[in-house]
């Protein structure tokens, strides 16, 4: 775990708070805990970044792993994050962000194949939570903001109303995280990551402002 993470209170925070992680490949801005870093300190394939466009992950290309201190934050499974992306229409599942330990202890954001609706899910063993926004997510630029804590899974996409699942409470212990799909996997449909940020957990009522 990154030094200082456990020492900070994990209660809900306001939007005005500093982010724990900023990954902005469109504008070339990268920071961890408020300190400027290189893109390669956050992701394992910084060469995929196209200035003014984003992190361009081709269809059937390797997903982009999150590394270093940025990964340490995500492995706490206790945060709010936002991911902005662009994609061409395709029939495959689109995974902007996955935090996982192989096939278990997983948090995933997924735009479903064929139905094209947005879904968030976390699970471990016999525990499972899922929230779905039934509005179609077509080709183009989109943004999701998600809060994951042991007590709740909630998200908003493109500024829309929050959908959530707090039907059960459980901890998970993921071991990796990636943009574009499951860690170590390949991308189903091409996706360009435009932004990625992580905060300490925020109240779910703030998610529409973060996803707008």
Averaged pLDDT in 10-residue chunks for the chain of 212 residues? 37 56 98 96 98 96 97 98 91 92 92 93 96 94 98 98 98 97 93 98 97 98
Please give the Cα distance from 3 to 63 (Å, whole number): 27
Which pLDDT value is given to residue 32? 96
Residue 86: per-residue pLDDT: 96
**Which SS3 state, helix, strand or coil, does residue 39 take?**
helix
User: Of 2.60.120.200, 3.40.1390.10, 3.30.530.20, 2.60.40.10, which CATH number belongs to 21-211?
Assistant: 2.60.120.200
3-state helix, strand, coil in the chain (%, to 5): 10, 45, 45
**Sequence spans of domains, the chain:** 21-211
Tokens of 170: 């459980």
Would you state the pLDDT for residue 17?
A: 58
CA-nearest of 178, 206, 184, 210 to 197 is: 210
CA–CA gap between residue 67 and residue 167 (Å, rounded): 31
């Amino acid at each position: 775990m990154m030094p200082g993470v456990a020492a900070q209170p994990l209660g809900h925070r306001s939007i005005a708070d500093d982010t724990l992680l900023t990954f902005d490949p469109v504008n070339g801005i990268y920071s961890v805990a408020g300190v400027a870093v290189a893109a390669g300190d956050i992701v394992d394939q910084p060469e995929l970044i196209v200035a003014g466009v984003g992190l361009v992950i081709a269809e059937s290309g390797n997903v982009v792993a999150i590394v270093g201190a940025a990964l340490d934050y995500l492995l706490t499974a206790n945060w709010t994050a936002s991911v902005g992306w662009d994609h061409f229409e395709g029939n495959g599942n689109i995974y902007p962000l996955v935090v996982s330990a192989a096939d278990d202890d997983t948090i995933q954001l997924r735009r479903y194949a064929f139905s094209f609706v947005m879904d968030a899910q976390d699970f471990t063993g016999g525990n499972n939570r899922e929230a779905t926004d039934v509005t179609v997510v077509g080709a183009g630029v989109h943004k999701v903001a998600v809060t994951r804590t042991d007590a709740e899974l909630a998200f908003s996409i493109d500024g829309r109303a929050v959908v959530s699942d707090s039907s059960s409470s459980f901890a998970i212990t993921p071991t990796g995280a990636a943009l574009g799909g499951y860690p170590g996997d390949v991308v189903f449909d091409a996706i360009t990551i435009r932004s990625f940020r992580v905060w300490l957990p925020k109240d779910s009522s703030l998610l529409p402002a973060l996803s707008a």
